Amino acid sequence: MDFMNNVLNELQKNNMTQIELCDAIGISINTFRGWVSKKVQPPVDIAYKISKELNTTVDQLVSGKPEHPAEKKLNEVKQQLNSIIGSI
């Protein structure tokens, strides 16, 4: 699978619409749909934002392979720490 197909699969898993994702990461729906239809990968900074919104990694979106359980736990802890730091 390609990056954008993996993003679409993750959207379904997260019960999130394309519009909600676009609003969350600050891009237009037309830009997003262009990437999907042309099977083009977005810029790295946007790919990173997408992965964070979908609670996954860029690596998983690129490869389509699930995260190793230890890596998943590490990413969860990182997100928790970022939330704590952001609220200070």
Largest Cα separation within the chain, whole Å, is 42
In three-state secondary structure terms, 30 is helix
Predicted pLDDT of residue 69: 74
Tokens found for residue 62: 């690129």
What structural domains does the chain harbor? 3-86 (1.10.260.40)
pLDDT tens, N- to C-terminus, the chain (88 residues): 689 999 999 999 999 999 999 999 999 999 999 999 987 889 999 999 999 999 898 988 998 887 667 777 887 888 888 888 887 7
Token reading at 23: 């609003």
Asked whether the whole model's pTM tops 0.75, one would answer: no
d(CA 3, CA 74): 23
CB 18 within 8 A of CB 11: yes
Task: Compute how many other C-beta atoms are within 10 angstroms of the C-beta atom of residue 31.
Answer: 11
